[in-house]
Amino acid sequence: MATTTATITLSSTDLTSDALSLSKTSTITKAGTTTGLTQTSGVGRKTTASSSQYTLLDATETQYTDDKASKVYVLNTSTTATEYFIITIGTQVVGRIYAGDWAFIPWASTADFKITPSEPTEMTLEYAVIYE
């Protein structure tokens, strides 16, 4: 059985009136079980050269199973603060990830996972899918 653990830590000394220190760790498992996820796309990169929307993950690809425990990791590798990617699942905008930002997003695999770069210049998004 594969074991994959995700950890997030948020800390700040000046965001609130008290120091902020939050940390959460979770073992990523198949839907409704305690069995670890066993598949991954591996870490890949998508380099864009226009501000057109791109389908990063096609929900109709046979390796992804609808409504299961898929997780998507994305990282904007840019170092230019104003450059971002808009993340969209189906037609729903999830949000933006700016230079150096990353996200770990659950994905039902029922709609395409899309990215739209903010600039028509070369930008790179790193990504990986962990799935059933």
User: pLDDT per residue over 75-112, tens digit each?
Assistant: 999 999 999 999 999 999 999 999 999 999 999 999 99
Reported pTM: 0.90
70-76 and 92-98 strand pairing: unpaired
For residue 24, pLDDT beyond 90: yes
- Full set of structural domains in the chain with CATH: 39-131 (2.60.120.10)
DSSP, collapsed to helix, strand or coil, labels residue 111 as coil
Report the pLDDT averaged over residues 42-71. Answer: 92
Share of the chain above pLDDT 70, in %: 99
pLDDT at 64: 86
pLDDT at 1: 64
- Answer whether 104's CB lies under 8 Å from 25's CB: no
Indicate the average pLDDT of the chain: 93
pLDDT at 9: 92
What gap in Å lies between CA 119 and CA 74, rounded to an integer?
A: 18
pLDDT at 129: 95
Report the pLDDT averaged over residues 26-39. Answer: 90
